[in-house]
């Protein structure tokens, strides 16, 4: 799988750019806040249909474009896959009103698609410095890692997770009405069954995925940090989901449904659903200790990178072709020997796009075979023929 061309209009700090991309490695260099990260995030949007580092969809629209009659950001990519060529187009349009709400439309080969039907047509993995928060931050970041990974290759998971979120919102609203005396507790039965049906699929899929990702991440971590052992385990809020018995989702469903019924009073008092995949976590261990309590910043970065490389291999196996690898400022805070190890680990990728502020930070063995580009003030120019000295 590879991205052949990219068109970006009024996205973040880009007014309009058109890029022809090639297989292999690309290096984007430039000072901070010039657009390197924005370019990677635009590509990632084509794969996941999610805006990175944006609280609302409309925040990706270039600020100056918000004064247009129809302010909109647009990202279009032409992709070569094993199943044939694809053209994916994502448009985010701002509307008038409080908070400037935005709508997102998606087309695949010119035909409008629902977001859930467009996710994963292009697969991509994005590493950023924020990924270290997967180790030290809250459980929601680790759940997001699993959600984005699985949604790209498992439509059933994406649909069940979306349905779970909608049902939980409705169940929580009902719990609050029951607490206020405007609804009856027996109305929860229908929502319990719906929530447990889709929640069981989410939990089972996550547990299976963590088992595979943990093995892959441990292998990559051993190469990047010899002598250190990385472990990862799925930690669901529902005990039955972590028995290791290999129960399928249809066996987990009645157990989850029973748990919801047993905790009605607690949920009513809280006004929210307290058990389910929305409370699950992934725990990382380093040499037998909790990574969140003992890992240094360098170790956190290595763990995060190992997880992204594991995600790359996982997607490649599930999809049957490798994803595009997007690495933002990957070499920051690494010594020269670690830089060589890291870059050699991705040298064989079918298509990898990596950013940095200093061209000479990249090992010559990697730099000499990569296409080089400079990013400055929302523009991109080729540096081919202008190789930096070794």
Based on the fold, state whether residues 314 and 332 are members of the same structural domain.
no
Question: What's the rounded Cα separation, in Å, for the pair 367 and 186?
Answer: 65
- What local confidence, expressed as pLDDT, does residue 332 receive? 81
- What local confidence, expressed as pLDDT, does residue 242 receive? 42
Based on the fold, state whether residues 222 and 147 are members of the same structural domain.
yes
Positive or negative, the CA dihedral 178, 184, 190, 193 is positive
- What local confidence, expressed as pLDDT, does residue 75 receive? 98
Q: What is the CATH number of the domain that holds 363?
A: 3.40.50.300
Based on the fold, state whether residues 309 and 327 are members of the same structural domain.
no
Based on the fold, state whether residues 221 and 249 are members of the same structural domain.
yes
- What local confidence, expressed as pLDDT, does residue 240 receive? 47
Based on the fold, state whether residues 277 and 373 are members of the same structural domain.
no
Based on the fold, state whether residues 241 and 148 are members of the same structural domain.
yes
Residue 128 belongs to some domain of the structure: no
Residue 99 belongs to some domain of the structure: yes
Based on the fold, state whether residues 188 and 264 are members of the same structural domain.
yes
Residue 227 belongs to some domain of the structure: yes
Q: Which domain holds residue 118?
A: 1-123+323-390
Based on the fold, state whether residues 327 and 317 are members of the same structural domain.
no
Q: What stretches in the chain show pLDDT beneath 50?
A: 240-247, 387-390
Q: What is the CATH number of the domain that holds 149?
A: 1.20.1050.90
Question: What's the rounded Cα separation, in Å, for the pair 304 and 326?
Answer: 14
Question: What's the rounded Cα separation, in Å, for the pair 141 and 126?
Answer: 14
Based on the fold, state whether residues 318 and 266 are members of the same structural domain.
yes
Based on the fold, state whether residues 162 and 310 are members of the same structural domain.
yes
* Residue 289 CB partners (closer than 8 Å, separation 6+): none
Residue 36 belongs to some domain of the structure: yes
Contact 231, 222 (CB under 8 A): no
Residue 130 belongs to some domain of the structure: no
Per-residue model confidence as pLDDT tens digits over 49-62: 999 988 888 899 99
Residue 361 belongs to some domain of the structure: yes
**Overall domain count for the chain:** 2
- What local confidence, expressed as pLDDT, does residue 238 receive? 83
- What local confidence, expressed as pLDDT, does residue 307 receive? 96
Question: What's the rounded Cα separation, in Å, for the pair 211 and 123?
Answer: 21
Based on the fold, state whether residues 352 and 390 are members of the same structural domain.
yes
- What local confidence, expressed as pLDDT, does residue 292 receive? 87
Based on the fold, state whether residues 245 and 327 are members of the same structural domain.
no
* Residue 300 CB partners (closer than 8 Å, separation 6+): 132, 135, 136, 291
Per-residue model confidence as pLDDT tens digits over 209-255: 999 999 999 999 999 999 999 999 999 988 744 444 444 678 889 99
Residue 239 belongs to some domain of the structure: yes
């Amino acid at each position: 799988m590879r991205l052949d061309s990219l068109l970006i209009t009024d996205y973040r700090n880009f007014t309009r750019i058109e890029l022809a991309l090639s297989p292999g490695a690309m290096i984007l260099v430039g000072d901070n806040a010039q657009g390197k990260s924005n370019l990677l995030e635009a590509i990632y949007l084509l794969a996941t249909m999610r805006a990175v580092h944006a609280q609302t969809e409309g925040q990706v629209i270039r600020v100056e474009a918000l004064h247009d009659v129809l302010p909109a950001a647009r990202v279009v990519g032409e992709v070569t896959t094993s199943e044939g060529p694809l053209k994916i187009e994502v448009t985010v349009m701002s509307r008038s009103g409080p908070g400037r709400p935005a709508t997102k439309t998606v087309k695949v080969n010119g035909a409008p698609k629902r977001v859930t039907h467009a996710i994963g047509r292009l697969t991509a993995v994005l590493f950023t410095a924020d990924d270290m928060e997967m180790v030290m931050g809250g459980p929601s970041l680790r759940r997001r890692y699993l959600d984005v990974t699985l949604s790209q290759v498992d439509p059933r998971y994406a649909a069940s997770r979306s349905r779970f979120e909608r049902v939980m919102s409705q169940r929580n609203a009902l719990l609050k009405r029951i607490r206020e005396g405007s609804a009856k507790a027996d109305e929860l039965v229908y929502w319990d069954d719906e929530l447990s049906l889709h929640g069981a699929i989410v939990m089972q899929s996550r547990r299976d995925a963590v088992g595979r990702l943990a093995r892959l991440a441990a292998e990559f971590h051993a190469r990047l940090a010899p002598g250190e052992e990385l472990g990862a385990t799925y930690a669901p809020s529902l005990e039955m989901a972590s028995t290791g018995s290999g129960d399928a989702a249809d066996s987990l469903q009645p157990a989850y449904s029973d748990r919801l019924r047993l905790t009605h009073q607690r949920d009513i008092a809280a006004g929210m659903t307290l058990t389910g995949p929305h409370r699950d976590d992934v725990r990382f261990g380093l040499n037998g200790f909790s990574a969140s309590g003992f890992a240094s910043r360098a170790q956190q970065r290595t763990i995060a990178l190992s997880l992204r490389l594991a995600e790359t291999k996982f997607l490649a196996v599930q999809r049957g072709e490798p994803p595009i690898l997007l690495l933002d400022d990957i070499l920051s805070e690494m010594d020269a020997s670690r830089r060589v190890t890291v870059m050699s680990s991705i040298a064989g990728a079918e298509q990898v796009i990596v950013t940095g502020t200093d061209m000479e930070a990249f090992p010559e063995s990697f730099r000499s075979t990569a296409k080089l580009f400079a990013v400055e003030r929302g523009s991109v120019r080729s540096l081919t023929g202008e190789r930096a000295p070794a």
